[in-house]
Amino acid sequence: MFEFFFKYPAAAYERGKIVLAGGWPVWLLVLAIVAGAGFMGYLLYRQRNETLIKGYRQIAIWGLQSALLGLLLLMLWQPALSVTALKAQQNVVAVIIDDSKSMGLVEDGSSRREKAIRSLDGGLLKDLREKFQVRLYRTGERLQKIDKLEQLNSSDRATRLADSMKEVVAEAGSLPIGAVVLVSDGAENSGGIDLETIQEIKRRQIPVHTIGVGREKLIKDIELSEAQTPAKALQDSRLSALVTFRQYGYAGQKGKLTLRESGKVVASQDVVFKQDGVQQTESALFNAGSAGAKNLDLQIDPLPGEENTLNNKLTRVFDVSSAKPRVLYVEGEPRWEYKFIRRAMEEDKTMELVTLLRTTPNKFYRQGIGNPKELENGFPTTVDELFGYQAIVLGTVEAAWFTPTQQELLHRFVDKRGGGLIFLAGRASFSDGGFAREPFIPMLPVTLPERKGTFHRDPATAELTVAGRDSLICRIEENADRNLERWKTLPYILGYQELGVPKPGALTLAEMTAGGKAKQPLLVTQNYGRGRTAAFAGAGTWRWQMLQPLADKSHETFWQQFLRWSVTGTPTQVQASLSKSMLADESKVRFRAEVRDKSYQPAGDASIVARIIGPNGTGSEVTMTPVPTESGVFEAEYNAEREGSYVVEMIARKGVEELGRDVATFRREDGVAENFHVEQNRELLEKLAQQTGGTHRGVADARKLGADISYSDAGITMRETKDLWNMPLFFLLALALRGSEWMLRRKWGVI
């Protein structure tokens, strides 16, 4: 259509420049148009008393006549299009065909590869060969020159368009490449086409014309787009996996989300699919199991009719630590809560609960100690002693019982060491225990009431908040909704404390109703410094154990999860992390270690090595180097050459003394990325074409590319001047102006 009116293709106009070929100056054209319009106006003015055309009718007629005159004058000045075009048979056009696995996807009875071949064979290649030398390439993991289309087989396990583009552009140094034609579904999986590549193409002025293949949206498909699991976990801990997916064609239907560790199902739950194309996130709980590096497959089981079932599964790796975190629980007086918390934790073999109980004004009773010296003199007074624990629980023990040094140590324990601190309710807790003072005020996740008498030995019933619904601390039933209801049926807590108001940024996980008053916070958590703190307002959860059937584990589960939360994230002296835990069709990974001394101050003078055990037990070692801008942080880059699982142990030393070690796990998987995002990425293809001065088309319009491709600034070109004065649009416009005048005159009865 464009070409019918404007005589030449749009690409010619986009790349060309409008000029006036008549040779007369432009100012003369303007002057002639102004003079002509003035003359027309004068003639009409003179006739004003001799005709019926008056007022606005005169102005309309004047406007139409002046426009026609202006158009005719413009045509006299010979408008033309000056455009650079490729010289016939002297340029090379590179035709790159995506030959990755996603091009093998069958849609409407034929694969994308077959459709691409049909479009090229259907005339486009012939048109191109008539004007240019055509070089065929296949691309996927790398660019490869081919002689004929039959060599395509959709076998490459990745699509690296950026790398292919770079290679072709590099060839332009020795070949007169006038244009690039890219036939692809755009399912790029190496991170997109970077700005550097685009700049290089632009610098060489090579237009990239893209031809999109494949559906932009699958009709029936479920695709997992993200899966989040913790990088590290404690043995037998309950973990949460967040799985994000979207689907087409199954809205309202049920699917099954299954988690498998080494082939064994560790969690399975139903999911109900939301609207088509909408990102949906579901959480699933599973048990971390025993210590070691773990591979977790997260899958939505394929449904009947799915077009691509290879994108239903993602794999994640995490490391389960064999370390047993130690929690110190200090209790100011004998009480049932103490006994039953101890009993709950006795069932958890992955943590150690050490308790210090003031039985009399002058005596302590210690349980769970590692050696007879531990806590021999009561609550720790040194960093070495206190920082050996991962979390502290304060029972009903008044703030003033701690010396100023111990109070400061507690603060440093959370703030610097990154430990967990739980405040429990009791008659010497919170406001009643004098905790509304430094350094406790900032550590508490609540603003305490400014009065005493906040502890009551009365019943309180518990209920989860919205935040508590998804919290691992509060999950005593697998299913989130059933868990909400389960909390409502728990026996009442005998003894509660008014905590005051949760601080901004704190998370209220549970609330309680007591004494006919409005709901008030029961469990509030917050992050503080490098650590975390929690306030728990209940003092009689032991009734959950005594007043429920023996087989019921809600009391044990709650306390195990609560204390596990308190230690989760408490760093060791060496904290290992990786830039990525899954390498999909890539090999480079960055190791990072945060190293601290015994006081948990950054240890910038440490030396770190990373020992890597790769697939088949192959070992290697890398020395990590300090990051200049971050004290105590060390990094190293590693190239994982083989597919499989890797375990990295980072060991820190200061002189001959070992400061600590930590383990991280990652996995390299090849050929997986190609199974995902298989819809045609039209946006990427359009953007590439637009940024390089090319055009984008669907496979059905591919043949029209033959007309556009000649206009290019790259390769061997010549400048052409194409007449525009005779383009159909001018004649049609002149006809329209004259016709409009005639119609108006007829309407007004002057003809």
Query: Where on the chain is the footprint of another protein (CB under 8 A)?
Result: 332-336, 338-340, 342-343, 346, 357-361, 363, 365, 367, 427, 457-459, 461, 488-489, 491-492, 494-495, 542-543, 545-547, 550
Residues 6+ apart with CB under 8 A from 110: 118
Give me the phi and psi of 109, to 5 degrees please: 90, -10
Question: Can you tell me which residue has the tokens 């035709």?
Answer: 95
Which residue, 87 or 343, has its beta carbon nearer to another protein? 343
Closer CB to another protein, 550 or 656, in the complex? 550
Nearer to another protein, 342 or 416 (CB): 342
CB 540 within 8 A of CB 424: no
Closer residue to another protein in complex, CB, 550/751 = 550
Minimum CB–partner distance for residue 482 and another protein (Å): 16
Measured from the CB atom, the residue of 77 and 492 that comes closer to another protein is 492
Q: Look at the block and give the residue holding tokens 């796990």.
A: 665
Q: Among residues 69 and 425, whose Cβ is nearest to another protein?
A: 425
- What span, in angstroms and rounded, lies between the C-alpha atoms of 519 and 463? 9
- CB of residue 343 to another protein, shortest distance in Å: 6
In the complex with another protein, the residue whose CB is nearer, 177 or 539, is 539
Nearer to another protein, 156 or 556 (CB): 556
* Long-range Cβ contact pairs of 606-610 (< 8 A, separation 24 or more): 606/632, 606/634, 606/652, 606/653, 606/654, 606/659, 607/652, 607/653, 607/654, 608/574, 608/634, 608/650, 608/651, 608/652, 608/653, 609/650, 609/651, 610/636, 610/638, 610/648, 610/649, 610/650, 610/651
DSSP letter at 403 equals -
Indicate the residue among 409 and 464 with the shorter CB distance to another protein: 464
Token pair belonging to 303? 């449904």
**HEC readout, 565-610:** HHHCCCCCCEEEEECCCEEECCCEEEEEEEEECCCCCECCCCEEEE
User: 6 or 336: whose CB is closer to another protein?
Assistant: 336
Is residue 682 within 8 A of residue 212, CB to CB? The reply is: yes
CA 595/CA 144 separation, integer angstroms: 46
3-state secondary structure of 498: coil
**CB closer to another protein, 273 vs 542:** 542
Name the residue among 72, 60, 45 with its Cα closest to residue 745.
Answer: 60
Bridge partners (DSSP) of residue 646 are 666
Which C-beta is closer to another protein: that of 411 or that of 543? 543
Contact between residue 727 and residue 192 where contact means Cβ atoms under 8 Å apart: no
* Residue 358 CB, nearest approach to another protein (Å): 6
Minimal distance in Å, beta carbon 334 to another protein? 4
Say if residues 679 and 217 touch (Cβ distance below 8 Å).
Answer: yes
User: In the complex with another protein, which residue's Cβ is closer, 272 or 547?
Assistant: 547
Residue closer to another protein by CB (options 364, 725) is 364
Nearest in space to 564 (alpha carbons), one of 289, 352, 299, 271: 352
SS3 689: helix
Q: Residues near 714 by Cβ (< 8 Å), separated by ≥ 6? A: 172, 176, 177, 178, 179, 204, 205, 206, 207
Nearer to another protein, 483 or 525 (CB): 483
Quick one: 489 or 629, whose CB is closer to another protein? 489
Provide the angle, in degrees to the nearest 10, between the axes of the packed helices 56-76 and 728-747: 160
State in angstroms the smallest separation of the CB of 339 from another protein.
5
A 10 A CB-CB count for 270 gives 10
- Taking the complex as a whole, how short is the minimal distance between the CB of residue 359 and another protein, in angstroms? 5
Edge-first strand listing for the sheet containing 292-300:
232-234, 313-321, 292-300, 254-261, 264-272
Minimum Å gap between C-beta 428 and another protein is 10
Closest CA to 189 of 130, 264, 101: 101
Strand blocks (E) in 430-504: 446-447, 455-464, 493-497, 501-502
> Considering only CA atoms, which of 642, 650, 580 is closest in space to residue 612?
650
Q: Minimal distance in Å, beta carbon 371 to another protein? A: 17
Q: How far apart are the C-alpha atoms of 468 and 544, rounded to whole Å?
A: 18
> Which segments within 361-466 are labelled E, that is strand?
363-367, 391-394, 420-424, 446-447, 455-464
199: how many CB neighbours lie within 10 A of its CB?
Answer: 11
- Shortest reach from residue 481's CB to another protein, in Å: 15
DSSP secondary structure, 136-204, as one string = EEEESSS-EEESSGGG----BS---HHHHHHHHHHHTTTS-EEEEEEEE-----SS---HHHHHHHHHT
Q: Which is nearer to another protein, 513 or 631 (CB)?
A: 513
